Amino acid sequence: MNGDMEELSRITAEQHREFMAALAVLSDQELAYRLQLVEAMAASIASKPTPTISTNDSDVNLQTLNLQKLETQFKDRLIIQSETKRPYGEGFPSSKSENDSEVFRVYFKGLLSDEIVNGPCSSNKTVTVAAIGVAIFDSTDEVIFELKKPLDLIEGDRICRQRVEGQALIEALKAAAALELKRIVVFCDYYPLYQFVNGRWPPKQQKTRDILHHVNLLQKSFTYCELNLIALEDVKFAFKLAREAISSQISQEKLDNCVLCLEDKSIDQFLSAEGCTHRYCYCCVKQHVEVKLLNGVLPKCPHGGCKSELKIESCEKFLTPKFTEMMRQLLKEDSIPVAEKVYCPYPKCSTLMSKTEALRHPRSVYGYGARTCYKCHGNFCVYCRVPWHENITCDEYKRRNSTSLVDESKLKNLAARNIWWQCIKCEHVIELAAGCYHMTCRCGYEFCYTCGAEWKNKKATCNCPLWDEECIVGIEEEGYKYDESNYFEDDLKHDVVLSDEYDKYW
């Protein structure tokens, strides 16, 4: 390109000399012409100048304009080359003169950090992560390139800051070479690496020598490459990029292992009960909570022996509205003492409330035991637990409605005949569907289903058998009678077929 410019300058100078010589010749011809013109004017005033001379004037003027235009284009080209900059992201110019003359600043940073992440089974673990950041600026302080990249560390391999910083320098030089930059100034904040690259410290380790060899090869890609030592705060842009790369690595490590399903899941999919450190995935906790709610028991932490209660606010994240309302009802029921619990006697309502929640009426309006359900607003007697019997005392109501007493007696006889037990603590009626004779009521009271004796510390206080085989296996089902031949009928038919086939061939 420099040769072309010199050739253009030579041609321009030569044309300029020819132009000046032409002007000198023109001045002599013009003098002769003027003499002839004076003589002609004397002979005839109407005489006109010859057209040939006029034509020569036009040619000279045209040549002058072309030469001035050429000089203007030459000057404009020089101005454009010195002042025009390539915008970031718009590619490279066809001419390399811009990158050959402009000096670019290259910043790099290598980070090595010990980070705490959540390990399996809710245990915290410390991991070592490394990352690099590279930023390249042009002469107008515009960022033309940036890089944030995590480094893969081999488990068991010793890693140090010197190697990470060296790898960051290599990546920075690779990026500058890929951008076809020719003149760069590299800024480093790590003093040992600065001394090694500049040859002031001889490397003693083979890994350091390998890094320096790689750096030296990359430096040959540039016509000018200088390494300067600066403070850490001056490489904050590259430091930020490296820090972002480390944060990205840590976010990928946030997995935990559920000890119930033994699956690794995102830490966001785990639930912790308040008051303990046990963590389980939503899927497992959901099944645990639903089973407890169906059994009328408030769910607690699934960990064996842990008594931490699960909050409804946490369970709402994975429970359906049906189970959420069921849990809310159980929480309310559990918060009311047994002696204070009152159910609305109207079958379409049956709302649970405490005696204080039931609306009390003045004695002059109804009676002393009159209450009103806060939900259906039906009046009832808090003592008889029946719809309000107006102008009738509780004793008189019981005498008039002896049928209810008979029904209650029938219910007790039915419970005795089917061996239904009434919890001593909360008076709920309990039936054994299947399983062992160790019963746990919804209120938490444990007892023996055979004799009713209390269980203490997960141990029986009686000598009754723990289970019956029929209750455990559940052989007798509705509409099915046990017959031993049912188990062998198909086998007998199969044996007959085999016998026929045997006789056929033998």
> Does the structure show a pLDDT above 50 at 476?
no
User: What does the pLDDT average to over 270-290?
Assistant: 84
The residue with greater pLDDT, 64 or 231, is 231
Q: Is residue 506 in some structural domain?
A: no
The closest of 162, 160, 172, 156 to 203, measured between CA atoms, is 162
Most confident of 68-77, 92-101, 171-180, 432-441: 171-180
Residues 6+ apart with CB under 8 A from 324: 312, 315, 316
In terms of Cβ atoms closer than 10 Å to its own Cβ (0-12, 13-18, 19+), residue 35 is exposed
- Provide the pLDDT confidence category of residue 370 given band limits of 50, 70 and 90: confident
CATH of the domain at 184: 3.30.420.10
The verdict on 358 and 479 lying in the same domain is no
Contacts 24+ apart (CB under 8 A), 429-436: 432/471, 434/471, 434/472, 434/474, 435/467, 435/471, 435/472, 436/466, 436/467, 436/471, 436/472
Asked whether residue 214 falls in the same domain as residue 118, the answer is yes
Average pLDDT of every residue of the chain? 73
Collect all residues with Cβ–Cβ distance below 8 Å to 163 and sequence separation of at least 6. 207, 208, 211
> Do 321 and 440 share a domain, yes or no?
no
Q: For 174-183, what is the mean pLDDT?
A: 93
pLDDT at res. 347: 79
Q: Which of 192, 221, 252 is the last residue of a domain?
A: 252
The residue among 252, 277, 294 that closes a domain is: 252
- Same domain? For 467 and 423 the reply is yes
Say if 260 falls within a structural domain: no
* Within-domain flag for 473: yes
Distance of alpha carbon 250 from alpha carbon 124, whole angstroms = 13
CATH for 344 = 3.30.40.10
Domain co-membership, 355 together with 390: yes
- Quick check: is 504 in a domain? no
Contacts 24+ apart (CB under 8 A), 353-356: 355/382
Which of 27-41, 62-76, 439-453, 468-482 is the least confident region? 468-482
Q: Please state whether the predicted TM-score (pTM) of the whole model is above 0.85.
A: no
Q: How confident is the model at residue 89 (pLDDT cuts 50, 70, 90)?
A: very low
Antiparallel, parallel or unpaired: β 103-118 and 183-188: parallel
Reported as a single tens digit per residue, the pLDDT across 396-422 is: 877 777 655 556 666 677 766 666 777
Within-domain flag for 276? yes
Average pLDDT over residues 62-81: 56
The domain containing residue 246 runs over which residues? 99-252
333-351 mean pLDDT = 79
* Amino acid identity, position 336: I
Give the residue, 38 or 386, on which the prediction is more confident.
386
Task: Annotate 208-235 with DSSP letters as a single string.
Answer: HHHHHHHHHHHHTT-SEEEEEE--GGGG
Judge whether residue 161 has pLDDT over 50: yes
Q: Per-residue DSSP letters for 243-266?
A: HHHHHHHHHHT-EEE-TTT--EEE
Q: What is the mean pLDDT of residues 175-184?
A: 93
Q: How many domains does the chain fold into?
A: 4
Pair 189, 114 in one domain? yes
Residue 505 within a domain = no
Looking at the structure, tell me whether residues 294 and 375 fall in a common domain: yes
Does one domain contain both 131 and 208? yes
Whether residue 378 contacts residue 361, with contact meaning beta carbons closer than 8 Å, is answered with: no
Q: Are residue 288 and residue 340 in the same domain, yes or no?
A: yes
Give yes or no: residues 180 and 297 share one domain: no
Residue 90 belongs to some domain of the structure: no
Q: How far apart are the first and last CA of the chain?
A: 105
Please state, as a whole number, how many other Cβ atoms lie within 10 Å of the Cβ of residue 468: 13
Separation of alpha carbons 20 and 23, rounded Å: 5
Q: Are 426 and 434 in contact (CB under 8 A)?
A: no
Ranges assigned E (strand) in 218-375: 224-229, 255-257, 264-266, 270-272, 279-281, 341-343, 352-354, 359-360, 370-372
pLDDT at 212 over 90: yes
Same domain membership, residue 65 and residue 13:
yes
pLDDT of residue 251: 63
Q: Is the residue at 46 inside a domain?
A: yes
Asked if residue 449 lies in contact with residue 437, where contact means CB atoms within 8 angstroms, the answer is: yes
Residue 107 belongs to what H/E stretch?
strand 103-118
Task: Tell me, yes or no, whether 183 and 235 share the same domain.
Answer: yes
Catalytic residue ranges: 436
Domain final position from 379, 406, 433: 406
